[in-house]
Chains A and B, each alone.
Chain A
Amino acid sequence: MPRDLFEDLVNAAPLAVPPMPAAFNRRVHQRLNSRLLAGQLFDLAFKGLAYSFVHLGLALAGLFVFTCTGRFDRPDTPQGDPLS
Chain B
Amino acid sequence: MNLTDLSDEQLAQMAAREGSDGPAFVAILERFRERVWRICFRLLSNEADASDAAQEVFVRLFLNRQKFEGRSKYSTWVHGVAVRTCLGIRRGRGRRQKHERVASDETLIPGTVGRPETDSAASLDLMKMLENLDEMDRALLIMKYIEGHSHEELAAMFDLSVSACKMRISRARDKINAEYGTSDGAAE
Give me the interface of A with B, judged by CB distance under 8 Å: 2-10, 12-18, 20-21, 24-25, 27-29, 31-32, 35
Contacts and interface: CB of A to CB of B under 8 A. Distances in A.
A14 B115 contact: yes
Interface residues of B, number: 46
Interface in B14-45: 21, 26, 29-30, 33-34, 37-38, 41-42
Contact of B109 (A10, A16, A32): A16
Interface string B137-153: 00001000110000000
Contact of B41 (A17, A29, A35): A17
Given A9-B125, A10-B145, A28 B29 contact: yes
Interface stretch (B73-81, B157-165, B174-182): B174-182
A15 B115 CA distance: 11
Interface of B: 21, 26, 29-30, 33-34, 37-38, 41-42, 47, 51, 54-56, 58-59, 62-63, 109-112, 115, 118-120, 122-123, 125-126, 129, 141, 145-146, 173, 176-177, 180-185, 187-188
Q: Give 8 nearest A-B pairs by CB, closest first.
A: A16-B111, A8-B187, A2-B182, A12-B122, A13-B123, A13-B122, A9-B126, A14-B119
B59 A35 contact: yes
Given A3-B182, A13-B119, A35 B21 contact: no
A16 B124 CA distance: 12
B118 A25 contact: no
Contact of B182 (A5, A21, A25): A5
Given A10-B146, A28-B55, A15 B33 contact: no
Nearest to A30: B55
22 contacts: A2-B183, A2-B184, A4-B183, A5-B176, A5-B177, A5-B187, A6-B180, A7-B145, A8-B187, A9-B126, A9-B129, A15-B109, A15-B146, A16-B109, A20-B34, A20-B37, A24-B54, A27-B51, A28-B55, A28-B58, A29-B21, A35-B63
